[in-house]
Structure 1
């Protein structure tokens, strides 16, 4: 497959559809140097983006957390995403909306006078973890920790927050793992590099409290599905050693969807009935 910069198709950029290869930015774009960028990852199923408006609203929220304003309304972003799908002839696709501070009068840390840009691309993308979606993913444990809310806007989907995700995933893949699990700054179990995590014990579900990381839309959807099934969900702080007593585990995220986990470090989990049930139910929901 060609690189992401060398494909046929259209990308929506600052109000108009442009040829894929021409969707470029200047080398002095502020976001490239100082990470002043926010984004959303979304999936379209049968021509409809799941939780589309919630994603667009969160994009605006994230920009506000980084002290800039996107010059397009939620309604305009919604229309642009649909235009991208139609222009590329996609019905099932991954959709990426990204907003950033561009090149302008400022090229130091401050960038209040620089224009804010918005682009939306889409491409066909299968299972994020490949065959791990059936067999169960294997996770490394990252040496990095999710930071304190006092140090960075942890509830924004901001590009800069993913720097340690990239390095952690590279280290995990070098060990033959699919992904890495983070602890947070206090030592509690947090999340994977791009997905939230759930555990099962004695028919009840336990998931880390999202007080220093993104409360994913897929996470929220799955919690709702579990509660609809009268399954008790504990949103709480989880110590790493508790993983020894959990029976099942899965990851959630727009890209990951619902992916079972078979191993985290030295801890192992079965790909059990509840994991399968939720994965299948989520697949039906997004396509309904």
Structure 2
């Protein structure tokens, strides 16, 4: 898809500039080593106007991700949120995906950066994985070991792992991949968190070997508000195979149901599942069709 045209503006180091004129530092660690951090947010067109869902949480996580890898973060998040709303306005976007990126300055050494830049872009983007139920596989690609990499940080280089897993899944006729951790427990999808339903209870892998998704936490909060049992526990491949139903969560993907894992088709109809109820509740939240805190 086309992410920008000759009129598209991005926010770059305190200014709005045309995306086509931004340029790239060819001697930066971000380009050569994947040394950068990013976030993904969504703005929704609501009856209250354009709203960015959980903007403060996303920018706070962006700062923490930079701190986890020693990348300088010198910006005020409240100001960045204001600039992001301004970015949506100058690009005439009411509903959009938003991508802030922190990248290093010139430095070819394998040492922490002493300076960094910020870019924020936005474009119209439907649900990342579409709207149909998914076919997923258990990938041969594993999640990074948390002892060798800060897996809780949203770091650019980490997503090479996700690209490999997703590409392999698609080549084998699936829509998305589920990755196991170093001990063989199912951790998450390539860029989404996993939930399974079994005997009217919802299970999800605990923090430690997974990415701590903001949408994941929203799902947990929804379960509690609706009095659904939500249990965080390590999930074996067999647990995933024998579930009644399952779904993925993420800012880009939203809440999306899984039809099958490898050759196992889930027995419960999606529309009758707890996941479908959570999906409807989540849509109401982001569209502000009921009371919910949104940072502006």
Q: Does 1:198 align with 2:195?
A: yes
Give TM-score scaled by structure 1 length.
Answer: 0.94
> How many residues were matched structurally?
281
Question: Could you tell me which residue of structure 1 aligns to residue 67 of structure 2?
Answer: 64
Question: Could you tell me which residue of structure 2 aligns to residue 273 of structure 1?
Answer: 273
- SS for the counterpart of 1:89 is coil
Give TM-score scaled by structure 2 length.
Answer: 0.91
Q: 2: CA distance between counterparts of 1:120 and 1:208?
A: 31
- SS for the counterpart of 2:39 is strand
Question: Could you tell me which residue of structure 1 aligns to residue 130 of structure 2?
Answer: 130
Question: Could you tell me which residue of structure 2 aligns to residue 33 of structure 1?
Answer: 32
Superimposed CA distance per residue, residues 25-57 of structure 1 (whole angstroms, 9 cap, x where no aligned partner):
121121011111000001001211100000000
Question: Could you tell me which residue of structure 2 aligns to residue 21 of structure 1?
Answer: 20
Question: Could you tell me which residue of structure 2 aligns to residue 93 of structure 1?
Answer: 96
The answer as to whether partners of 2:101 and 2:120 remain within 8 angstroms in 1 is: yes
The answer as to whether partners of 1:70 and 1:118 remain within 8 angstroms in 2 is: no
Superimposed CA distance per residue, residues 45-74 of structure 1 (whole angstroms, 9 cap, x where no aligned partner):
121110000000000000000112212111
Q: Does 1:10 align with 2:14?
A: no
- CA separation of 1:22/1:202 partners in 2, compared to 1, >3 Å: closer, same or farther? same
Question: Could you tell me which residue of structure 1 aligns to residue 181 of structure 2?
Answer: 184
Segments of 5+ residues of structure 1 without an aligned counterpart are none
Q: Does 1:50 align with 2:53?
A: yes
The answer as to whether partners of 1:31 and 1:100 remain within 8 angstroms in 2 is: yes
Segments of 5+ residues of structure 2 without an aligned counterpart are 289-296
Q: 1: CA distance between counterparts of 2:178 and 2:13?
A: 36
**Cα shift at 1:256:** 0.9
**Cα shift at 1:20:** 1.7
Q: 2: CA distance between counterparts of 1:8 and 1:187?
A: 48
Match of 1:248 among 239, 245, 248: 245
Could you list the runs of 4 or more consecutive aligned residues of structure 1 that deviate by over 6 angstroms after TM superposition?
A: none
Q: 2: CA distance between counterparts of 1:238 and 1:254?
A: 23
Match of 1:226 among 218, 223, 226: 223
**Cα shift at 1:266:** 2.3
